[in-house]
Structure 1
Amino acid sequence: MPQPPFFNRQALHLRPDPSRVVVRPFRPAIEPRDYNPVDKTRADHIVDRVLALDEDEVAALLRATLHNFDDRHHNLPETFEQRAKEMEATFSDHASFSPAQRQLIGAYFLHEYSFEAAALFNPSIVPHPCQTGVKPGCVRVVLSLRAVGEGHISSLTFRSGTVAADGALDIDPPARLSRLPAVTARVGDRIDVSFTPDSSLSERVIFPITEAQANGIEDARFVAFQEKGETTYYATYTAYSGNSIRSELLETTDFVSFRLIPLKGAAASNKGMALFPRKIGGRYAMIARHDNESLHLIYSDDLHEWSLGTPILKPRYPWEFIQIGNCGSPIELDEGWLLFTHGVGPVRHYSIGAVLLDKTYPARVIGRSQVPLVQPEKSEREGYVPNVVYSCGAMRFGDLIVLPYAISDTFSTFATMQATVLVDLLKKGLEE
């Protein structure tokens, strides 16, 4: 199955960098009840040991800790103090603390986490909300990526870049330091988080916050949603608790402040949901997969509640016999809705194809690729999960389609293709 001649792979790879770290809460396990006659927890023991140090020892240890880690994180004293504040329930059984003791104790209940040590993959791409200063004929973009570190915990990270008129991509180097957002509100299952406005996009990491997300925020499919002349960026993603999954929705207008909320309805218990970039017939529309092998079209009057939909695409060709899924939100073209898909074939071999859906009635398939557009190259099949190519969202730029995709669940790369040529190929594929 040769690669189509119009498919232009970029000589650009985004690889995981283990030096990029954040600090996360360290929560010592509670000791067995027969360990201590007063049933003190490990946290109590750690606090007692710090309080046993004299003032000079506390000051010296705090200075040494800051010296050792300060060049790896933003404003560590404030981070230590914030962690101490979160530990108030534990501290209530102890004496009062000096500011230095509080910061030092806060440090004992944190640990560094290399959030992309294992993989940086499953990207999606949308136009940047700010195009100020961009050269004529170019577009600034936001790239979202799934980062995986120790324990296969997934988080959401970002890059910025520019696409030139000829399709050449330039991705900005990531910031040296990274940061987590502050939680600004919790209303039921809804969580609002925010980064400082002066932080760069590539510094921002959205790490699992709730129990439902404990083991991962996975495969965010971003889309620039248009309604009443306004653009809101939505991302459907999979929240993984370690035992169960559910689909959730992220919302932002500026990539500084974000709202995360679980989706409701029968469809939300599955993964791989992708929102259309505008309403169709006055209703929200979503591509989803309910049966583990086929794609369905769902309509809803409520952005946050989705029932089951209508099957529109089932496995047909050998490279997708096991299952098919979407590779991000549909892209609106004059000819119809372009939807990239992934297919799974023999030996769990993932490939990327595409279909064209009718613009007014997207349940009607009007074009389909008979062979993959991209599949794992023999030289790139090794990685965290071998034999996989996967994307969470492409973008139209003029007559170009910009497709970021991941290789072997390890690193990400890019390709461009002519939209008109692709449409012709898809229509021809359905006719044959």
Structure 2
Amino acid sequence: MDHISRPPKQTEDVVSQSPAFNRQEVYLRPNPARVIVRPFRPATEPRDLSPVDKTRANHIVDRVLALGTEEATLELTEVLGNFQSRHRNLLTLLERRAEEMEDAFASHTLFTRAQRLLVGAYFLNEYSFEASALFNPSIVLDPDQSGALEGGHRVILSLRAVGEGHISSLTFRSGFIAADGSVSMAPASRLASLPRVESRESVEGGEAVEVGFDPAEELSERVIFPLTLSQSNGIEDARFVTFEDEGRRTNYATYTAYNGLAIRSELIETTDFVSFRMMPLRGSAARNKGMALFPRKIAGRYAMIARQDNENLYLIYSDDLYAWDGGTAIVKPRFPWEFVQIGNCGSPIELDEGWLLLTHGVGPIRKYSIGAVLLAKEDPSKVLARSSQPLIRPEPSEREGYVPNVVYTCGAMRHGSRIILPYAVSDTFCHVSTIEIADLLSSLTP
């Protein structure tokens, strides 16, 4: 089923937006048929990353290995018949999971390969990672521009997917921007898979993890599911930006790690969207969510927009990409649509006129709208202009969803004279609009 679809005619006007916006015919909707297999842990605690209850695990392994050779082979054949078409390289996944269960094999000296693979199957389960929502996108240029349209670009959208238990993961889509600014997205693959963990390392503040996908997999197959205790209930709202430093380009994204009780900001980095490194951030500013990295250093230092007090936007500088403290409040709630709080909607976009920072404001009945702020190029602590009215706000005709009354984005990009803006509606599905930069700037109040 193609989940890049148009909504019913009677609800086509999803949000109220500036007349200068050009709404694209692009809709990215959650598809519950897309599943991954992840470790199943019979545990004493109902948490995804809790330790396996070894007694229960041993009992399961004992029962499998007590099966006769023929019976075990028949059971494995049935498993493969049911699930092999739903996953790439299922046999490899079963073997990999069996390797992780070596301790449970300790008391057994003789078993067949079929029994071993069957044990792997008993400690996996399918998870519909976008069953509930697919939202909060950010957009960057694809490092691979082969096949791009003349005058256009290949792009990558990152998205937050939510499944059973409100667990968030990170997934991706490929797209194209034509010379005239029109946007098209490639359909998502039917298959989806998790990466192989290449390394884990204890670092200050938590754990650094490096993962890698099979380069032969389509981009939309790649799903980064929680890997550490700090992320155990979600990898939320990745704000990707292409960072340039001395001719080298790296795609960084700040995201919110959520363990079910507490949140903190972490950083993911990649050059190819095949291999990724995830690191915790340190410092007082990293204890909250909503951090966004500038796409280059300013006066030789890293710069970040943050919201460590849950209310205002701060500008922070650091000589260490992974440590963020202090900062200066530069944007505070001023207009009724942002009286509750104001936050960023992705990394600042560099224009000739200054740094364009998309914002979100929260108003009455916790209604989220999108606005913008223009910061001075050489000194981003100076606000040159800002939205007195939202650029995009929820439309009453369709504001129901996983979280009602919300429009939100985690990052836009510049394409010539336009801003390409993907955004989410009611924390449920995603849409794309474009706007002429000149029109956007003229809508701001000095």
**TM category, shorter:** over 0.9
Deviation at 1:388, TM superposition (A): 0.3
Is 1:290–1:308's contact at 8 Å kept on the other side of the alignment?
no
Q: Output one character per residue of 1:10-56: Cα deviation in whole Å (capped at 9) or x when no partner.
A: 2211000001000011111249xxxxxxx972212211211221100
Counterpart residue number, 2:238? 220
Q: In the alignment, which residue of structure 1 is the partner of 2:3? A: none
Letter in 2 for 1:56: E
Identity of aligned residues (%): 65
Q: Say which SS state the counterpart of residue 127 (structure 2) adopts.
A: strand
Give the drift of 1:202.
Answer: 0.5
| 2:9 equivalent in structure 1 | none
Aligned counterpart in structure 1 of residue 250 of structure 2, from 229, 232, 236: 232
2:343 to 325, 342, 345: 325
1:409 maps to 2:432? no
The answer for the alignment partner of 2:103 in structure 1 is 89
Q: Is the 8 A contact 2:16 2:393 kept in 1?
A: no
Conserved? CA contact 2:399–2:426, under 8 Å: yes
1:100 and 2:118 aligned = no
Deviations 1:242-301 (A, max 9, x none): 111111000000000000000011111110000000000000000000111100000000
SS of equivalent residue, structure 1 residue 12: strand
2:375 matched residue in structure 1 = 357
Q: TM-score, normalised by structure 2?
A: 0.93
Residue in structure 1 matching 2:295, options 277, 280, 288: 277
Match of 1:36 in 2: none
* Structure 2: distance between partners of 1:147 and 1:288: 23
Select between 258-267 and 182-191 the one with higher mean Cα deviation.
Answer: 182-191
Give the gaps of 5 or more residues in structure 2. Answer: 1-14, 46-52
The yes-or-no answer on 1:334 pairing with 2:352 is: yes
Q: Deviations over 1:392-417 (max 9, x none)?
A: 00000000000100000000001100
Alignment size in residue pairs: 421
Would the aligned equivalents of 2:16 and 2:395 in 1 still touch at CA under 8 Å? no
The normalised TM-score by structure 1 is 0.96
> Residues 67 and 424 from structure 1, CA distance in 2 versus in 1: closer, same or farther, beyond 3 angstroms?
same
CA drift at 1:377 = 1.4
Task: Tell me the residue number matched to 1:51.
Answer: 65
Listed as ranges, the gaps of 5+ residues in structure 1 are 32-38
Q: How does 1:19-418 map to 2 (within 5 A)?
A: 19-30=33-44, 41-188=55-202, 189-418=207-436
> Which of 3-12 and 280-289 deviates more?
3-12
Shift of 1:90: 2.1
Equivalent-residue separation in structure 2 for 1:24 and 1:311 (angstroms): 42
1:304 counterpart letter in structure 2: Y
Amino acid at match of 2:126: E
The Cα offsets for residues 361-390 of structure 1, whole Å up to 9 and x where unpaired, read as 000000101000001112220000000000
Dislocated runs of 4+, deviation >3 Å: 93-96
Within 1, Cα distance between the matches of 2:129 and 2:342?
A: 29
State the AA in 1 paired with 2:420. Answer: V
State the secondary structure of the residue aligned to 2:32: coil
1:59-87: per-residue Cα shift (whole Å, max 9, x none)?
00001100100000011111111101111
Partner amino acid, structure 2, of 1:315: P
The amino acid that maps onto 1:321 is F
SS in 1 for 2:26: coil
* Higher mean C-alpha displacement, 87-96 vs 402-411: 87-96
Per the alignment, in what secondary structure is the counterpart of residue 70 of structure 1?
helix
